[in-house]
Chain A
Amino acid sequence: MGVKGETVRLLDEEGRRVDGRRLDELRPFKIEAGVLKNADGSAYIELGNNKILVAVYGPREVHPRHQALSDRVLLRCRYSMLPFSVAERKSPAPTRREIELSKVIREALEPAIFVEEFPRTAIDVFIEVIEADGGTRTASITAASVALADAGIPMRDLVAAIAVGKIDGKLALDINGVEDELGEGDMPVAMMPRLGEITLLQADGRFTPDEFRQALELARKGILTLYEAQKRTLKEKYERIAKEVGEVER
């Protein structure tokens, strides 16, 4: 049901979505690594209208000192939306949603990191959503993983993520803002793709157990596409330099 009693159709007769996509299509996206000078690692992602910047500082000294963990690194994560990132200005104070998302994003990234390598230090991940249009937490995870690799943090694998929704009764990959608001379900998923391990899984709305299985499978496909892009973007800068200095084709 749409606003003011209008029925907005999220799927037309040809199975095309409001932005023209098919059910299993990702929005156009781009990922860049190493975009900030000061941060130890950084990344920027655009996915549809989403624009998200991630900075990683660390490993570095823990402040306040008493929070340091004696046998491993302290991973901290802050997901924050800028006030102008959404249609109705969002107050700068952290909302409950941002608090929850900061936690689940941290828990999506942590399984990949070799946390025992830097005892008594901290790795800080700062996520700033510059513009939001559905699927910000999964896009943030995808960018944060690139930023962590860019910072030289040792990891088992990268982490890539995407959300699957349910619109007009059908499962749709990478739902945008409108589809999330008016649809019947939203399931964000994050994975370490090579290891096949799921590090984030949430859902609201309603999914039958069969739909749940299919949604996971659909998410996996989207995640693999993003994973290839993450790898390319990390290697790109260095491969370009090698080419410029006249090395043999890699």
Chain B
Amino acid sequence: MSARAHEVISALKKDTLLSLLKRNERLDGRRLDEYRDIDIKVNLVGKAEGSALVHLGGTKVIAGVKISVGKPFPDTPNKGVLIVNAELIPVASPTFEAGPPGEDDVELARVIDRGIRSAPMLDLEKLVLVPGEKVWTVFVDIYTLDHDGNLFDAAGLAATAALLTSKLREAKVEDGELKITDNVVPLPLKSVPVFVTVAKIGNKLLLDPTYEEELVMDARITFAFNEEGEICCIQKGGAGSFSYDEILQAMEMAREAAHKLRARLPPKNGANV
């Protein structure tokens, strides 16, 4: 299908979708607050320090973690570095073009980055090798492989699952030199964030929108919750708006869903290393 055709939902389908919603039903039979089937596989890329492939309904996202020695940022000499990147690549959808990152790629990367950073998921202070000079730099690269809606939540699961199962090589300073051993330890982690996106269609709020539901939605809002139940990232997107009450309602929906999603993630600290 051409990009243009893929971006237009047929009027007939749209009508069906909307009339089902009026009865709180969806095209695939789910409830408004139900997620599609989730499958998470980790440690599938041997060359990466961490990796995860997430299937969320038809959406497929892969995240890889690469860790290397680098320089700290000048204003945080005693902290490791975290860099999150995301790309929507042409394999995933007729609407994605090859080329430099566009606004959707950038938004996805920065939202996942903020959630992970603010939670905070990584204990960056434990990633220092030689203070002020050498630190571990953790790269998280997220690639969408198949776009059937709700890329934020899928990317969030992929990035966090990959970090949860990442291997860090132990480092020691011997005779004034930094030696990196073959001994592996899990990444020092603090609080794991879970991302939940709520879509608004008309006056209905629903979780885990499919691609078609996203074509019809007025707006979306993504909340990330850390293990302590704090909100560590919010991002409203789309050309529509939410009423005050809808925002509060969306937050409650997201909060409940976050518990369930969290249960699907690999356990923290070491069980899979």
Interface residues, chain A, CB within 8 Å of chain B?
A: 3, 96-97, 99-100, 102-104, 106-107, 110-111, 185, 187, 192, 195-209, 212-213, 216, 220
B127 adjacent to chain A (CB < 8 Å): no
Residues of chain B at interface, number, CB under 8 A: 37
Whether the Cβ atoms of B248 and A206 lie closer than 8 Å is no
Is there an interface contact between A204 and B103, defined as CB atoms closer than 8 Å?
Answer: no
Taking A203-B233, A206-B118, A213-B248 as contacts, is the C-beta distance between A110 and B239 under 8 angstroms? yes
Q: Are B236 and A200 in contact (CB under 8 A)?
A: yes
Contact (Cβ within 8 A) B240 A96: no
Binds A, one of B21-29, B32-40, B41-49, B104-112: B104-112
List the B side residues contacting A212 at CB < 8 Å. 231, 234, 251
* Residues of B in contact with A (beta carbons under 8 Å apart): 75, 101-104, 106-107, 109-110, 114, 117-119, 219, 221, 226, 228-244, 247-248, 251, 255
Since A196-B244, A198-B247 are in contact, a sample of 4 more A-B pairs with Cβ atoms closer than 8 Å, ordered by chain A residue number, is: A204-B114, A204-B233, A216-B247, A216-B248
Q: In the complex, are the beta carbons of B238 and A107 less than 8 A apart?
A: yes
Q: Which residues of A contact B101 (CB under 8 A)?
A: 96, 99
* Alpha-carbon distance between A160 and B38 when the two chains are bound, in angstroms: 40
Asked if B251 and A209 make an inter-chain contact with CB atoms under 8 angstroms apart, the answer reads yes
A5 to B, closest residue via Cβ = B78
In the bound complex, residues from chain A placing their C-beta under 8 Å from that of B232 are 203-206
CA distance A216 to B226 in the complex (A): 20
The answer on a CB contact under 8 Å between A103 and B103 is yes
Partner of A198, one of B102, B118, B233, B241: B241
A-B contact pairs, 10 of them (CB 8 A): A99-B106, A103-B107, A107-B236, A107-B237, A201-B234, A201-B247, A204-B114, A206-B232, A207-B230, A216-B247
* Contact in complex: B103, A99 (CB < 8 Å): yes
Bound Cα distance A204, B102 (Å): 22
Q: For the complex, what is the distance from the CA of A3 to the CA of B226, rounded to whole Å? A: 27
Q: Which residues of A have CB within 8 Å of B255?
A: 209
Contact residues in A for B238 (Cβ distance below 8 Å): 107
With both chains docked as a complex, state the minimum distance between the C-beta of B270 and any C-beta of chain A, in angstroms.
25
> Whole-angstrom distance between the alpha carbons of A195 and B231 in the complex?
26
Q: Report A67 CB to chain B, min CB distance, Å.
A: 12
Closest to B244 in A: A196
Task: Please determine whether B244 and A208 come into contact, CB atoms closer than 8 angstroms.
Answer: no
